Amino acid sequence: MNVDELLAKAKKPSADAMKLHPFYRGKIETTLKCAVHSFKDFAIWYTPGVAAPCKAIQANPDLVYDYTNKWNTVIVVSDGTRVLGLGDIGPKAGLPVMEGKALLYKYLGGVDGFPIMLDTKDPDAIINTVLMLQPGVGGVNLEDISQPKCFYILDTLREKADIPVWHDDQQGTATVTLAGLINALKVVGKKMSEVKIAFIGSGAANVACSRLIFGWGADPSRCFMVDTKGILGKHRKDLELRKAEYKDKWKLCNITNAEGREGDIPDAIKGADVVIALSKSGPGVILPEWIKSMAKDAIVFACANPVPEIWPWEAKEAGAAVVATGRSDFPNQVNNSLGFPGIFRGTLDVRARTITDEMCFAAAQALADHVGKRLDADHILPDMDDWEVFPREAAAVAMKAVEQGLARHPTTYEAEFENASNIIKRSRGLTKMMMEKNFIAAPPLDKDEHDVDLETIKSAY
């Protein structure tokens, strides 16, 4: 396959998306889950019968979880200011992404997700809107909101909301990255507490990654964070002057980089055991010669999309023992979709009040453990088609919520694993049935595969 053919193949998903989005006119819809045998049933589901459950909920508000779909509903809230790979494209342009998120919630986790696009960039307006919407939903997924306001919005909502609020760009990315790192360190035989880590990019994702990774046992003083102006540290007067606005980055300036390194990406990478890059799309953001300067048996997570900061074969040829990216056509895909469906499944099922870092740790451990004997340098995480990972995550998260006293509806591991498995199987089965019966029309496309294998891509560059 020559370069032109490869590029055409790589562009095919985008071309297909432009055909299929208008063909289906969106990716999700609402449908019924109750029986309707005749119009007489409307007297039960609507007036006058509906007044009885309304009164019951008024008398006991917790019954809303038993009498409505609040227990299984998550809203995906965004202002479209930080859409992955696209930037500030606005709420209307961001809607296809949030619909896609809702699709993944339903298919992978059996969760009824629904996109809510907000026509405001004001963080307080976003907070107030979410708080006003919470009576009708079971949880909130904040998505594609720019920093630093994304930190303020999440922290405030976690404090004020009665339902769990999650920012997938932060917590989701961090959970799956931690899981991958746990297993990558097993492959190379290194300890979390002893490694030097260079975090390339200091946006919402890597700030959260560093928090969870430090919480798991990495030593912050041995680690380095890099933003667009260089390595973070106490020398960064630009951040000290804005520490009230960038409080998370200023905290990292004070707890990382005990060596007092200054400079940029190559200076942070030198001698590091691990690189976790969530910066800008490559290739060429990280150069092979910088990887050569890392410690022996280096680990490189180059997770920018759509193109990683360095091609995985370049990193391997430069000496990296384990390489992960955000792409499905390379080994070791680090993708949020491995996390949020199962995490929210377990959170909703026990009616947890919030999603703590400890619940994220439980999910990360479940993800890492699920690889089992398949663990090697090219398989540090489960694949998304390994559907059992999601109920296992759900059960692990649910048990941690129970342990922390956050569950309004406690259960056992076995019961939650069975419950989550049944819900997810039902969701996937419904989709399959609707496709077979043509309630979901067959797409008007050829049957060519979208994936391009690594050797094919490598040969073209």
Helix (H, G, I), strand (E, B) or coil at 407: strand
Distances (CA, A) of 222 to 159, 257, 268, 289, 345: 32, 6, 11, 22, 36
| Reduced 3-state DSSP string for 178-214 | HHHHHHHHHHHCCCHHHCCEEEECCCHHHHHHHHHHH
Cα torsion 260, 266, 268, 273: sign: negative
Task: Decide: 94 and 157 in contact? Cβ < 8 Å.
Answer: no
User: What one-character DSSP code corresponds to residue 251?
Assistant: H
Q: Render 154-177 in DSSP notation, one character per residue.
A: HHHHHHH-SS-EEEIIIIIHHHHH
User: Which helix (H) or strand (E) covers residue 77, if one does?
Assistant: strand 73-78
Task: Decide: 153 and 127 in contact? Cβ < 8 Å.
Answer: yes
Q: Render 432-444 in DSSP notation, one character per residue.
A: HHHHHTTSSPPPS
Distance CA 135, CA 222 (A): 45
Phi, psi torsion values for 231, nearest 5 degrees: -70, 135
Q: Render 386-405 in DSSP notation, one character per residue.
A: -TTHHHHHHHHHHHHHHHTT
First to last CA, the chain: 12
Reported for 243-247, long-range contacts at CB under 8 A and 24+ positions apart, including other chains, are 245/148, 246/148, 247/148, 247/151
Instruction: Give the burial string for 206-237 (b: 16+ CB within 10 Å, else e).
Output: bbbbbbbbbebebbbebbbbbbeebbbbeebe
* Residues acting as catalytic residues: 46, 101
Task: Determine how many CB atoms are found less than 10 A away from the CB of residue 443.
Answer: 12
Specify which residues 227 forms β-bridges with.
230
Distance CA 358, CA 363 (A): 9
Rg (CA), the chain: 23
| β-pairing verdict for 139-142 and 165-167 | parallel
